[in-house]
Structure 1
């Protein structure tokens, strides 16, 4: 199992990481309607989802491997007068009791490892999520450009490569899946909606594209 490596958020130049993902509004309204309150932002980065869900009235815990990111989030939360509990930790070993959270966002996080690390992290997510709780998770598809051109990168295992084109995640592992992998890995979950695979293009270089799966999952008893 490869050692986890944090993003170097000090090199981030993308303001988009401060804006909640477009799914956040739907998730917040859906989860509130189901009476969910205890929320975990797994791999919170600079804290865009933690801030958003705290403002929506959720009780928020945020974890990340980057101390820089957590310091940024703590300062942001203080300015917004929000109570967000933060902790530095590895997703392979979450510092929470079983069945601690009603809902979890795992946005562009769990795939930053190899195959064994992904399986271990997923077990941790299942462990801390309550039965009948829900998980929103994003995974990189094997249909994305970087996996189809994996010869340009160092390969860790058949599903994992090290990418090096972005300073914030240089030499951070990337684990890829297809729909059959999703069927196999998420047997202990029901799909709230069918898996969605979507592609984002670099409009200046449309030969490069990033394809992800978005999953909303319900944990079975």
Structure 2
């Protein structure tokens, strides 16, 4: 079947969507009620959080306070609090923070404080043993690294993309099938941060993490909604996307499941360590 032709206007819309949702240093995750439901369903299937905590445990086991930047709905914040840390969690999304607040009350966690604010607007009133951030691309700037390191006593720990080309859920393959330029999937990754740290002579440790972080769906039509929500794929390609989902989804526990081998880098940056 011949694919619809992409016009210059289409490419401009794709590019702008990519800048808004994936390639901007000031990236904000687009939380809404549906994306929260998707994320919660995905969290139930993954060992991602456990793997991250196990990897950083030797560095943080004797520490007590953590600031979780861009915490979203609080997967890591809650995991840290359950492990006994005193957690401060911040995120600019009001809907994500409301969800986290309800979750904290539901499980009666007393050692976590939340603030609905961005890192740029957050007022530091104390230092933290660890400052943590997962896929916070706004920290890939020298001035932000300097600011955050000023308020940690031990480590800044960041989870960052491994790849230059975003390939969650094998999305790069779909772009190629649709003849959409994969340049629109380009993203900052850990190498950008390494350039800053090397230039400033700041020491760090690198850990590569691979984990399955797939997405379950009730129907394949829901899968189509998911792809169209997170990736700048044009509505005119719905038929081709559905065929791609037919090939990629597997049945698991009575649901469709779109696998996703998530590739991440854990950057453990020392406050006082110098090369």
After TM superposition, the score normalised by the length of structure 1 is: 0.68
Tell me if the contact between 2:42 and 2:213 (Cα under 8 Å) persists in the aligned partners.
no
Tell me if the contact between 1:28 and 1:56 (Cα under 8 Å) persists in the aligned partners.
no
Moved more, 24-33 or 38-47: 24-33
From the superposition, tell whether residues 46 and 178 of structure 1 become closer, same or farther in structure 2 (CA, over 3 Å): closer
Alignment partner of 1:194 is 2:223: no
1:199-214 correspondence to structure 2 within 5 Å: 204=248, 211-214=263-266
Give the Cα–Cα distance (whole angstroms) in 2 for the partners of residues 176 and 75 of structure 1: 33
Corresponding residue for 2:117?
A: 89
Q: How many residues align?
A: 191
Paired residue secondary structure (1:94): coil
User: 1:201 offset after TM fit, Å?
Assistant: 9.0
From the superposition, tell whether residues 16 and 217 of structure 1 become closer, same or farther in structure 2 (CA, over 3 Å): farther
Tell me if the contact between 2:67 and 2:88 (Cα under 8 Å) persists in the aligned partners.
yes
Alignment partner of 1:127 is 2:150: yes
Consecutive unaligned residues of structure 2, counting only runs of 5 or more, are 1-23, 215-246, 250-257
Alpha-carbon RMSD: 3.6
Alignment partner of 1:184 is 2:228: no
Corresponding residue for 1:138?
A: 159
Paired residue secondary structure (1:176): coil
Corresponding residue for 1:219?
A: 271
**Dislocated runs of 4+, deviation >6 Å:** 147-150, 199-203
Specify which of 42, 51, 58 is matched with residue 16 of structure 1: 42
Deviation readout 1:109-168 (Å, 9 max, x if unpaired):
x22x4xxx73143233223212xx11221222344345987935659xxxxx6xxxxxxx
Tell me if the contact between 2:165 and 2:183 (Cα under 8 Å) persists in the aligned partners.
no
Give the Cα–Cα distance (whole angstroms) in 2 for the partners of residues 178 and 209 of structure 1: 18
Paired residue secondary structure (2:150): helix
User: 1:43 offset after TM fit, Å?
Assistant: 1.0
From the superposition, tell whether residues 10 and 21 of structure 1 become closer, same or farther in structure 2 (CA, over 3 Å): farther
Query: Higher helix proportion, which one?
Result: 2
Corresponding residue for 2:81?
A: 54
Tell me if the contact between 1:135 and 1:217 (Cα under 8 Å) persists in the aligned partners.
yes
Corresponding residue for 1:167?
A: none
Tell me if the contact between 1:43 and 1:63 (Cα under 8 Å) persists in the aligned partners.
yes
From the superposition, tell whether residues 9 and 17 of structure 1 become closer, same or farther in structure 2 (CA, over 3 Å): farther
